[in-house]
Structure 1
């Protein structure tokens, strides 16, 4: 029943957004209230089981400003536009992503840096990998041949010696964490440089080739292939 409620709620919100965006001069709040009042009446018992925070999220139509955040700027991968952005900051997850981009991709184009970031965030979203950026980046670190990102186990200290490159990757990490589209690698969860040829690359699906990296998506497990 909860699934049915969420499904109907999603359809209602979508209908409201389409109605308003079509240019009909009606209050989105008024229209939403009518639709939701009817819908909530159908699921009065189930609604009581939903935490108030989740219910508020489900029943709130995003403002135009919020929806604009999802708009993909045409110059997202323009190095000069990135340079003009204010310096980025963030917490530990932002720092882990920025550090990975610095050591894995700072010599790549902006697209190449975004692509590496996509792989890390695709792993965060995958049930096959840890569920935080820092845990993904540091998975296997300290175990011989087990680290996922070479810089975490190459025996060298992670020293940021190029301030401008650090500032650039910090901005890209911020954009990715804040929801920039992942449209470059088609869901890739792995990559390697063109200088190497790992055994897994023969069985994974190649999804993109950007700068010095080749990107791959891990095959989906099924009952037949284990």
Structure 2
């Protein structure tokens, strides 16, 4: 077998192995992007939205995801909630997680998926970057954590 044929064979074996891993990730690189687990989707939302700032900030983001999941107006899986267009950071489900924040995100995702919630988030289903304030009467701020302001939308009476 020639050197180039051997290289092509090795490349083909790697490609087949990578695509058969569906949903497995290694060092932040996901193989089979359409097969992320609920934990991976939760990790990614917390990792990118809290800027890897703290377990407190990650828990708050995870609580918002779960609050949405429990509301009939939103999709029925963590991955669908996190993947909703224009709701979470662009590329949240595809960008690589490259630092130690991924380890913390994994630990906090396990806690959230087992039922832990940030008590300060209450029923909030929304957040934006801390330091910004908007003049809408229906935004009731409940918490600042992880570089974000968390708020509930309530009807104004």
Short-chain TM bin = 0.5 to 0.7
CA RMSD of aligned residues (A): 2.6
Tell me the matched-pair count. 122
SS in 1 for 2:150: strand
Q: Give 5+ residue unaligned stretches, structure 1.
A: 1-90, 141-146
Q: Does residue 1:204 correspond to 2:149, yes or no?
A: no
Whole-Å separation in 2 of the counterparts to 1:172 and 1:211: 13
Whole-Å separation in 2 of the counterparts to 1:168 and 1:134: 19
Map Cα deviations across residues 93-144 of structure 1 (whole Å, 9 max, x no partner). 111000111111143221111011101110000112111110111112xxxx
Q: Normalized against structure 1, the TM-score is what?
A: 0.48
Q: Give 5+ residue unaligned stretches, structure 2.
A: 1-35
- Contact 1:113-1:172 at 8 Å conserved across structures: yes
Q: Which has the larger radius of gyration?
A: 1
Question: Which is richer in helix?
Answer: 1
SS in 2 for 1:152: coil
Q: State the structure with bigger RCO (CA 8 A, min sep 6), 1 or 2.
A: 2
Whole-Å separation in 2 of the counterparts to 1:134 and 1:106: 19
Q: Normalized against structure 2, the TM-score is what?
A: 0.67
Question: Which is richer in strand?
Answer: 2
- Contact 1:106-1:169 at 8 Å conserved across structures: no
Shift of 1:189: 0.3
